[in-house]
Structure 1
Amino acid sequence: MIVLRVLPWLAAAWLMAIGIYGMVTSRHYVHLIGCLSVVQSGTYVLLLAIGFVWHAGPPIFYDHSPGTPAVDPVMQALVLTDVVVGAAVSALLLAMALQLHKRRKTLDPEDLEPVP
C-alpha cells in the first residue's frame, strides 16, 4: 500500500531527473526543447500527486453529503494551466530554434559564435 502512495512521487522525480539529464547533456536545441517538455510532464504528475486523495470522489458536491472526501480541484486546474503554458513555451522555443537554424545553419550550441 505504501508503494502506491509513493509511486506518483517517484514517477514525477524520475521524469524530472531524466529531463534534466537530457537538458544538461544535449548537443542539439530541438533535443533540449524535448527534454524541457519531459521535465514539464514531471510537473504534471507532481501536481496531480499533490492533489490526489485516496478513496475520494470528484469535486462535484450537488449529490454528495457534506464531509465527503473529494480530490483538490485547484491542482487539476493548475495542471491544465501547466499544459497550456508548456505548449506555448515549447512552440515559442521551437520557433526560435527554427529562426536560429535559418540564420546560423546550425542548432548545435557548441558551433554558435557571437554575432559581430
Structure 2
Amino acid sequence: MRVVTASDQQSASDYAMKGFAIGALQWAGVGVVASGLLYAFAPWYRRTQTVNKFYIIMCFGLGGGAYKSDRYMVNYERRGRAEMLDADTRRRYDLIYGGKNEEQDQKVPSS
C-alpha cells in the first residue's frame, strides 16, 4: 500500500509504534528471564556489572521491538492492499451486475 496522505502516514506510524512497544515488552521479558537463568547458573554472569546486565536486557527489548514493528508495518500494508482490492472488486461487480442503488430504484414505484 502506498501511503499518500499525511493522515495515512501518521496512522501507519502509530501502528508501527504500537508494534514496537509490544515487541519491546515481550522481548525485554525474555531478556529478564534469560538474565535470571544466567544469574542462577553462571558464576561469570554474577560477577558482571549491573550496567552490563541492563544493557543485555535492553538489547533484547530493542531487537524485539524492531522485529515486531516491522511485522506490524508489513501487516498494515497488507491490510491496506486487501482493502483496496476489495473496493476494486466491488466496483467491478457493480459495473457488471449493477449496484444496490439500481435495484432500489426499480423496487420503488413512481407516482
State the TM-score, normalized to the length of structure 2.
0.38
Higher relative contact order (CA 8 A, sep 6+): 2
- Determine which structure has more spread, i.e. the larger CA radius of gyration: 2
What's the TM-score once normalised by structure 1's chain length? 0.37
Return the structure number with greater helix share: 2
